[in-house]
Amino acid sequence: MEMNSLEQTSIKPAPDFNRLLDVLWRRKQPDYVPFYELYVNNPVMESILGKLLPDRISTIEFYYRAGYDHLPVWPGCKFTVGSLIDRSTGYPINDRESFNKYPWPEVSSITFHEFEAVTPVLPAGMKIIGQRSGVFELLQELCGYENICFFLADDRKLLHEILERIETLFVAMYKGMAGFDSVGALIISDDLGYRTQTLLSPQDLRELILPVHKKLADIIHDHNKPCIMHSCGNLTSIMDDIIDFVGIDAKHSYEDAIMPVFEFAKKYKDRIAILGGYDLDKLCRSSTEEVRKHTRSLLDELGKCGGYALGSGNSIPKYVPVANYLTMLDEGWKSRL
């Protein structure tokens, strides 16, 4: 029978974030493979729990009962103009004049309300993993990809100035998140590529984006916390830069059509931790029996080496079959018994 609730799984919650730290720092082989997910989409969590989850506090129950040691939480930084859903008048920054007029949020307007709300009610053993959508992603939201390409050719100085404003906000957000004792790790989440290559040239990313990522990684490490990189796309041309220059401790987001996680692990497992990697298309299309088999392959081939946490190759969006997702978790938990 296909599973549609956590009661049908073998999961018995016993959070211990130190086990995930063993993976992220690659400091020792944990006694079993922990779970990791960038986030689980609200409709999936609500379907599994059978109730609405109106705020961040309400999501704690799901992550706890699903066997996670962490809770994903985001800071607040409101942009009044320019977002993924605000396209009625085009992108707000398209030249120097529009840049000079743009109403940037003040650093003082950044909030950490969700961190403050969940910290006192986290179950024992759980920690927050803080995150925010990325530097390059925000640049695209404000300027649009086409304008970025024009700036690269016609006005690189303007591009640097825009990124300086973005960097100021991100530095404040990451310092604020890292300052919470309840935060156990932080994610730099920035999609830099697509299936065949990076969205900008490796040289441009090294000049413009990776230096900001390094500043964020340094903030995270200054607080003695591990830095996770979540980035979609083919990053082969800059992976050494991300590891050696930016200084990440773990990488998340894998797609079989780009590089299966098994292949990635062969190249990089001695340098960084490997998180997730169950290809999302495969997770959606497989039978539950096939899900169990592939989960076992991930555990057997990657888990036994340490430095690995089980999860999807990206996140758990609303179109993932609940039965398949729960089967992955159930098989992962059974490996602990």
Q: What tens digit of pLDDT does each residue of 228-240 get?
A: 999 999 999 999 9
The percent of residues in the chain predicted with pLDDT above 90, rounded, is: 93
Provide the pLDDT for residue 58: 99
Q: How confident is the model at residue 6 (pLDDT cuts 50, 70, 90)?
A: very high
- Amino acid identity at 5: S
Average pLDDT, the chain: 96
Q: Is the pLDDT of residue 87 over 90?
A: no
Q: Hey, what are 182's tokens?
A: 């309840």
Which 3 state secondary structure label does DSSP give 73? Answer: strand
pTM for this prediction = 0.96
For residues 177 and 129, what is the distance between their CA atoms, to the nearest angstrom? Answer: 9
| Residue ranges of domains in the chain | 1-68+253-337, 80-247
Task: Give, in words, the CATH class of 80-247.
Answer: alpha beta
pLDDT at 61 over 70: yes
| Per-residue confidence (pLDDT) for residue 83, from 0 to 100 | 58
148-174: average pLDDT: 98
Query: How many other CB atoms are found less than 10 A from the CB of residue 113?
Result: 12
Distance between CA atoms of 189 and 178, rounded to whole angstroms? 15
Of residues 178 and 30, more confidence is placed in 178
Structural contact between residues 323 and 37, judged by C-beta atoms closer than 8 angstroms: no
Confidence of residue 81 (pLDDT cuts 50, 70, 90): confident
- Section 272-296 average pLDDT: 98
Statement: residue 84 has pLDDT above 70: no
Inform me whether the pLDDT recorded for 337 exceeds 90: no
**CA–CA separation, 232 and 198 (whole Å):** 9
56 close to 101: Cβ distance less than 8 angstroms? no
Q: Strands of 250-252's sheet, edge to edge? A: 70-73, 127-133, 183-189, 227-230, 250-252, 273-275, 308-309
CA-closest candidate to residue 219, choices 271, 166, 164, 173: 173
Tell me the C-alpha distance between 25 and 299, whole Å.
Answer: 19
Give the whole-angstrom CA distance, residue 134 versus residue 119: 24
What distance in Å separates the CA atoms of residue 332 and residue 330, rounded to the nearest whole number?
5
Identify the band that residue 89 occupies on the pLDDT scale cut at 50, 70 and 90: low
| Angstrom distance (rounded) from CA 22 to CA 307 | 7
Task: Kindly state the average pLDDT of the residues 218-230.
Answer: 99
CB-CB contact of 68 with 309 (8 Å): no
Q: How far apart are CA 323 and CA 78, in angstroms?
A: 36
SS3 134: coil
pLDDT tier, 305 (very low <50, low <70, confident <90, very high otherwise): confident
Residue 65 has pLDDT above 90, yes or no: yes
pLDDT at 295: 99
What's the average model confidence in pLDDT over 301-321? 96
Q: Out of 26-30, 108-112, 183-187, which region has the weakest mean confidence (pLDDT)?
A: 26-30
Average pLDDT over residues 59-74: 99
Mean pLDDT of 243-263: 98
Task: Read off the pLDDT band of 88 (50, 70, 90).
Answer: low
Hey, is 252 helix, strand or coil?
strand
Average pLDDT of the residues in 273-290: 98
In 3-state terms, the chain is what percent helix, strand and coil (to 5)?
Answer: 50, 10, 40
